[in-house]
């Protein structure tokens, strides 16, 4: 270990931690790492060298005033030019499973024809990954909405669902031979409610009805794309990715318990229930009243494709404690408690005793609710810790003990759920590199990476957490090899 890393005693503690975790993971349990195209590529590079389309996020970051320091994805971490270095980095850390996205704004031109330069870039990347023995999990929409589609109304328009499906068709037709699994959407809650109602993400709007339309059209796109992909590449496993945020009542009063129900339905069931049951939650529809659109029953049938999916990807970062609030449009408000454990963005990691293990509880709730409706397999597709790295007094930037603690704790939560009968088969750390973090831009506290990126030079340097995963992956590989020789 170089001068940046912890001393030998801390390294020993980390090695023991990795060994303890490795011993609990079955040989067939997937450990991977992920990122997304817009957050890493560098939009100014793809725009200049591929003549690709601008994304909605580029303009939003520049002009909305809602992004940290107006940071744009123009530079990101320059994956565009440094892709070989990054593939070798993934390989050196022992990861055999990698999730990324194929950008709609890059793969298709404005007239829906294929951008050949972008296609060739993805082909080179995917060949290199597969050549290094790395399995590819490709997301088709990780918020890379073309700017011109946003200007026409974006996900508020039904036509956007059809336009997206052409991107999905071309992506799997041209790149499917390298994909081990394809995920249609990433976190539709974020690209609808967080974008068109709460206004935290692009396009930064604040209309509940519009956000409900956006959510519906995202789910419709997901249903249509599922059918399209199954027709074009029948053998390619199809899944999708939702973020969950389990909600817990502040008190045991009926009002607060109902608040927790509304919060769970707003964040979770508004997306899971139509996918698996073909309906939207009734209590929340009543709460919205006239603001809730009337949805076509035929749409609901197209949306209900949960039993056709090979995998449900689950992204998890935090849970919420809530109380009833009759004045709020959603019917509840979050409660912050003094003993919360948070990351550096203030996201609640744990609130004992109300919820000590939010990820485990969230996975268990999903299994209990939707296993009879086709939910047969889950992967934790994102889970990570935001922090600048200075987690301990006088610690160097590459020593990130709280990130190691976070990943170890949540891996054990996943294993507790699995050992209790929840069909969860893997865990992807978020994220490989300190990259562009949406509305947080390049804020130091919003660094999720296992690998530090110098914002001036863009040079990469593995943190202690990267070494922890390298040790974990190495121990598991050695065990599999030893057991194979013994057999």
- What residues act catalytically? 187, 382
C-beta of residue 247 within 8 angstroms of C-beta of residue 265: no
What are the phi and psi torsion angles at 294 (to 5°)?
-90, 125
H-only helix segments in 233-319: 254-264, 270-277, 282-288, 297-303
Other beta carbons within 10 angstroms of residue 470's beta carbon come to: 17
Helices (H) and strands (E) in the chain, counts: 18, 15
Distance CA 30, CA 313 (A): 13
At residue 223, the 3 state secondary structure works out as: helix
| CA-to-CA dists, residue 297 to 263, 301, 416, angstroms | 25, 7, 39
Distance CA 252, CA 161 (A): 41
345 DSSP assignment: T
What are the phi and psi torsion angles at 404 (to 5°)?
-60, -45
C-beta of residue 332 within 8 angstroms of C-beta of residue 323: yes
- Residue 60 has which token pair? 């939003």
Distance CA 243, CA 114 (A): 30
């Amino acid at each position: 270990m170089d001068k940046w890393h912890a001393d030998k005693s801390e390294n020993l503690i980390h090695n023991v931690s990795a060994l303890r975790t490795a011993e609990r993971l079955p040989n067939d349990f997937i450990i991977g790492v992920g990122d997304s195209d817009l957050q890493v590529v560098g939009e100014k590079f793809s725009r200049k060298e591929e003549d690709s389309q601008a994304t909605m996020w580029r303009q939003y970051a520049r002009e909305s005033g809602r992004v940290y320091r107006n940071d744009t994805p123009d530079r990101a971490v320059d994956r565009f030019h440094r892709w070989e270095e990054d593939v070798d980095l993934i390989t050196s850390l022992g990861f055999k499973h990698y999730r990324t996205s194929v950008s709609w704004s890059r793969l298709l031109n404005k007239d829906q024809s294929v951008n050949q330069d972008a296609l060739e870039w993805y082909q080179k990347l995917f060949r290199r990954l597969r050549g290094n023995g790395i399995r590819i999990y490709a997301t088709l929409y990780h918020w890379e909405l073309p700017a011109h589609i946003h200007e026409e109304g974006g996900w508020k328009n039904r036509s956007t669902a059809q336009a997206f499906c052409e991107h999905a068709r071309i992506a799997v037709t041209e790149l499917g031979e390298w994909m081990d699994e394809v995920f249609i959407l990433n976190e539709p809650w974020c690209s609808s409610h967080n974008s068109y109602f709460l206004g935290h993400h692009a396009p930064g709007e604040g209309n509940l009805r519009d956000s409900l339309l956006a959510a519906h059209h995202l789910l419709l796109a997901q249903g249509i794309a599922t059918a399209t992909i199954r027709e074009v590449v029948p053998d390619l496993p199809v899944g999708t990715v939702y973020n969950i945020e389990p909600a817990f009542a502040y008190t045991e009063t009926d009002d607060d318990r109902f608040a927790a129900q509304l919060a769970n339905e707003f964040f979770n069931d508004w997306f899971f229930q139509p996918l698996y049951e073909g309906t939207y939650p009734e209590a929340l529809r009543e709460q919205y009243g006239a603001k809730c659109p009337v949805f076509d029953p035929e749409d609901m049938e197209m949306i209900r494709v949960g039993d056709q999916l090979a995998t449900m990807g689950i992204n998890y970062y935090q849970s919420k404690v809530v109380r009833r609030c009759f004045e709020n449009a959603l019917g509840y408000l979050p409660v912050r408690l003094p003993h919360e454990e948070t990351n550096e963005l203030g996201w609640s990691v744990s609130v004992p005793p109300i919820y000590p293990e939010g990820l485990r509880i969230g996975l268990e709730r999903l299994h209990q609710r939707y296993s009879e409706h086709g939910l047969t397999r889950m992967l934790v597709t994102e889970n990570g810790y935001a922090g600048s790295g200075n987690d301990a007094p006088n610690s160097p930037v590459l020593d990130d003990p709280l990130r190691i603690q976070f990943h170890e704790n949540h891996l054990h939560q996943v294993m507790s759920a699995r050992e209790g009968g929840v069909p969860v088969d893997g865990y992807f750390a978020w994220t490989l590199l300190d990259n562009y973090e949406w509305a947080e831009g390049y804020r130091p506290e919003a660094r999720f990476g296992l690998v530090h990126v110098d914002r001036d030079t863009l040079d990469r340097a593995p943190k202690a957490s990267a070494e922890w995963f390298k040790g974990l992956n190495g121990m598991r590989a050695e065990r599999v090899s030893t057991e194979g020789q013994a057999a």
